[in-house]
């Protein structure tokens, strides 16, 4: 089976869709580009899920009994 090579007119920071999955075009370490899943802001995830960030008080209450490594 032969593989068809296509030259795409894309640039860094473009979003592309392949088989229904979205990817962001980012630079790689060798001067070329690669595809990575885009970073989704938490605000968008909260809006889609109907959630909200924990308040500082809620966070303290929920993490009060967790062990600490003393680094922060």
pLDDT along the chain (72 residues), means of 10: 85 90 92 88 90 91 83 70
Q: What is the pLDDT of residue 2?
A: 80
User: According to the 3-state scheme, what is the secondary structure of 13-55?
Assistant: CCEEEECCEEEEEEECCCCCEEEECCCCCHHHHHHHHCCCCCC
Q: What is the pLDDT of residue 72?
A: 63
Q: What is the pTM of this model?
A: 0.48
Q: What is the pLDDT of residue 20?
A: 87
Q: What is the pLDDT of residue 25?
A: 93
Distance CA 57, CA 44 (A): 23
């Amino acid at each position: 089976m032969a593989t068809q090579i296509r030259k795409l007119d894309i640039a860094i920071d473009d979003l592309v869709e392949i088989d229904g999955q979205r990817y962001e075009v980012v630079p790689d370490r060798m001067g070329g580009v690669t595809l990575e899943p885009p970073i989704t802001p938490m605000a968008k995830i909260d809006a889609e899920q109907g959630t909200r960030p924990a308040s500082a008080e809620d966070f303290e209450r929920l993490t009060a009994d967790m062990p600490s490594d003393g680094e922060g």
